[in-house]
């Protein structure tokens, strides 16, 4: 069996499964957020009754992160609905925007979009917050009401996005009927060269198979090249499995996975036991591809979909209005460090927005020093508009007052993960997806640029 099949077989209580089987699996964690949480709660109450209790309050994780720093009252109200449900159900893992469990969330626009407006429990973008807060464990099943839930496959777990109806059912029962996906094999060999990042790996893979090339399939990433990838790198790759239509992305378990998970579960006092899955000799794949990491070059996914792959060095004719770094995919500490490495001592020539995915990342950037400046100060000095309000921000467009949102038809290069028309705001805007290094180089030049031009 493949890694995915082994996890699904275990969760279904079966010795073996094969692709195409329909199996009932037990969920280890159900995650929801402010956009889909209220709808999921509505389904749960409608189907299980107004006074029903969730199947296991310790396995439900609720993370407001999407439409938070906006004066839109309906969006603010969504966070309040989550808080009321958490109180009613006595759910311990709720990462609220405010500290007062009886309060109401109201964004204060008069304080501006750059300065921190969250309390001490707020965790930021759900997919980045889940591992930071110790909720991702090898061998487990994670369901989330968000398509990029697949990011947790970096931790050798089966993680997939589900709709509100399925999530309402999981809330009530802890189970879900799943068709076992076919598995595709991406063997990574070699090592990334300077200026090339994990984002380039996944943009290359999606470019090879197309934005629907993995529809309802598992994308398994393994091979000797994985050892050189950090957990952040693996998260970037697994995150974008859905951009090829994948059901999930999954990596092998190794010492790096173990170190990360053990540290985070200990730090947060979450469940620390888990059982990883390892590769079998008899894995059956429907597709095989070897990616030579040494040969990869800075890559861009062009408007209008993530499969439109080109090399950054061939795209200098695309003039840009805006650059954006942030999101679960591209807003991690390591992403900002590579971004800053290119920008250090230079000035951007187009509007450039930086949105760390989580408050912990804000803290990392404001406390790491390069010489006499923090990384945060280096970015601000380079002309990047950095917000402390960690969250999804303009990755998903959002209400019109969202930080970095494209309210007019602009051309943007972005470290985010999705570029279908209208994704970051105006429906006639264009988004080019790239690594943080390529976004930085392009922000300096005002046109799509290979970051190796700026690396000595």
- The site for ligand SF4 (CB under 6 A) is made up of 66, 125-127, 146, 148, 327-328, 392, 395-396, 416-417
Residue with smaller CB distance to ligand SF4, 327 or 333? 327
Distance from C-alpha of 62 to C-alpha of 85, rounded to nearest angstrom: 10
Distances (CA, A) of 414 to 189, 249, 313, 395, 418: 27, 22, 16, 9, 9
Least gap, CB of 306 to ligand SF4 (angstroms): 12
Residue with smaller CB distance to ligand SF4, 17 or 242? 242
Which structure tokens are listed for 74? 């309906």
Least gap, CB of 66 to ligand SF4 (angstroms): 6
Residue with smaller CB distance to ligand SF4, 293 or 357? 357
Distance from C-alpha of 154 to C-alpha of 206, rounded to nearest angstrom: 17
Least gap, CB of 96 to ligand SF4 (angstroms): 17
Residue with smaller CB distance to ligand SF4, 265 or 416? 416
Q: Where are the beta strands (DSSP E) in 81-204?
A: 93-94, 141-144, 158-161, 175-179, 182-189
Least gap, CB of 212 to ligand SF4 (angstroms): 18
Distance from C-alpha of 206 to C-alpha of 212, rounded to nearest angstrom: 9
3-state SS string for 148-160: HHHHHHHHCCEEE
Residue with smaller CB distance to ligand SF4, 5 or 146? 146
Residues 6+ apart with CB under 8 A from 395: 326, 327, 328, 355, 414, 416, 417, 418, 423, 424
Nearest to 143 by CA among 123, 122, 172: 172
Tabulate helix, strand, coil % of the chain (nearest 5).
35, 20, 45
Residue 271: how many CB atoms within 10 A of its CB? 15
Distance from C-alpha of 197 to C-alpha of 192, rounded to nearest angstrom: 7
Least gap, CB of 15 to ligand SF4 (angstroms): 36
Residue with smaller CB distance to ligand SF4, 146 or 200? 146
Least gap, CB of 239 to ligand SF4 (angstroms): 8
Least gap, CB of 35 to ligand SF4 (angstroms): 8
Handedness of CA 38, 362, 119, 129 (dihedral sign): positive
Residue with smaller CB distance to ligand SF4, 66 or 341? 66
First vs last Cα of the chain: how many Å apart? Answer: 46
Distance from C-alpha of 400 to C-alpha of 407, rounded to nearest angstrom: 7
Nearest to 252 by CA among 138, 152, 156: 156
Distance from C-alpha of 254 to C-alpha of 1, rounded to nearest angstrom: 19
Any bridge partners for residue 178, and if so which?
23
Residue with smaller CB distance to ligand SF4, 225 or 398? 398
Q: How many CA atoms lie within 13 Å of 85's alpha carbon, on the beta-carbon side?
A: 33
Residue with smaller CB distance to ligand SF4, 55 or 105? 105
Residue with smaller CB distance to ligand SF4, 382 or 396? 396
Least gap, CB of 335 to ligand SF4 (angstroms): 12
Least gap, CB of 398 to ligand SF4 (angstroms): 8
Residue with smaller CB distance to ligand SF4, 144 or 181? 144
Q: How many CA atoms lie within 13 Å of 160's alpha carbon, on the beta-carbon side?
A: 26
Least gap, CB of 241 to ligand SF4 (angstroms): 12
Least gap, CB of 253 to ligand SF4 (angstroms): 24
Residue with smaller CB distance to ligand SF4, 28 or 146? 146
Backbone angles phi, psi at 183, to 5 degrees: -110, 140
Distance from C-alpha of 160 to C-alpha of 436, rounded to nearest angstrom: 25
Give the rounded distance of the alpha carbon of 96 from its chain centre.
Answer: 19
Least gap, CB of 128 to ligand SF4 (angstroms): 8
């Amino acid at each position: 069996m493949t890694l995915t099949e082994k996890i699904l077989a275990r969760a279904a209580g079966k010795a073996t499964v094969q692709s195409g089987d329909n199996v009932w699996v037990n969920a280890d964690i159900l995650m929801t957020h402010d956009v889909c949480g209220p709808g999921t709660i509505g389904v749960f109450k409608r189907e299980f009754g107004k006074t029903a209790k969730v199947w296991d309050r310790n396995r439900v994780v609720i993370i407001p992160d999407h439409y938070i720093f906006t004066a839109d009252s309906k969006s603010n109200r969504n966070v309040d609905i989550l808080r009321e449900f958490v109180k009613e159900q006595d759910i311990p893992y709720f990462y609220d925007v405010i500290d007062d469990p009886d309060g109401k969330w109201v964004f204060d626009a008069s304080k501006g979009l750059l300065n921190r407006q969250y309390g001490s429990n707020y965790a930021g973008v759900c997919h980045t917050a889940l591992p930071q807060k110790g909720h991702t464990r090898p061998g487990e099943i994670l369901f989330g009401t968000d398509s990029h839930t697949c990011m947790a496959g970096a931790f050798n777990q089966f993680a997939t996005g589900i709709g509100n109806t399925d999530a309402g059912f999981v809330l009530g029962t802890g189970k879900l009927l799943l068709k076992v996906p076919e598995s595709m094999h991406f063997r990574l060999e070699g090592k990334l060269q300077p200026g090339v990042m994990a984002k380039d790996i996944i943009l290359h893979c999606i470019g090879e198979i197309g934005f629907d090339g993995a529809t309802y399939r598992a994308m398994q990433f393994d091979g000797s090249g994985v050892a050189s990838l950090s957990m952040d790198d693996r998260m970037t790759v697994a995150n974008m499995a859905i951009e090829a239509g994948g059901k999930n992305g999954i990596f092998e378990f190794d010492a790096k996975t173990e170190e990360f998970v053990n540290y985070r579960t200990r730090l947060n006092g979450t469940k620390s036991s888990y059982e990883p899955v390892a590769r079998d000799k008899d894995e059956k794949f429907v597709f095989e591809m070897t990616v030579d990491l040494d040969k990869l070059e800075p890559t861009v996914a062009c408007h209008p979909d993530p499969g439109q792959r080109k090399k950054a060095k061939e795209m200098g004719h695309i003039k840009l209005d805006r650059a954006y770094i942030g999101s679960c995919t591209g807003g991690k500490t390591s992403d900002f460090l590579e971004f800053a490495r290119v920008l250090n001592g230079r000035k951007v020539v187009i509007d450039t927005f930086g949105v760390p995915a989580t408050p912990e990342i804000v803290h990392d950037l404001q406390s790491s020093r390069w010489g006499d400046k923090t990384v945060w100060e280096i970015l601000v000095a380079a002309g990047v508009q950095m917000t402390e309000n960690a969250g999804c921000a303009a990755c998903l467009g959002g209400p019109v007052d969202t930080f970095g949102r494209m309210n007019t038809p602009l051309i943007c290069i972005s470290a985010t993960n999705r570029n279908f028309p209208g994704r970051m705001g105006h429906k006639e805007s264009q988004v080019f997806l790239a690594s943080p290094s390529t976004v930085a180089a392009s922000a300096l030049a005002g046109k799509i640029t290979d970051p190796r031009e700026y690396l000595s």
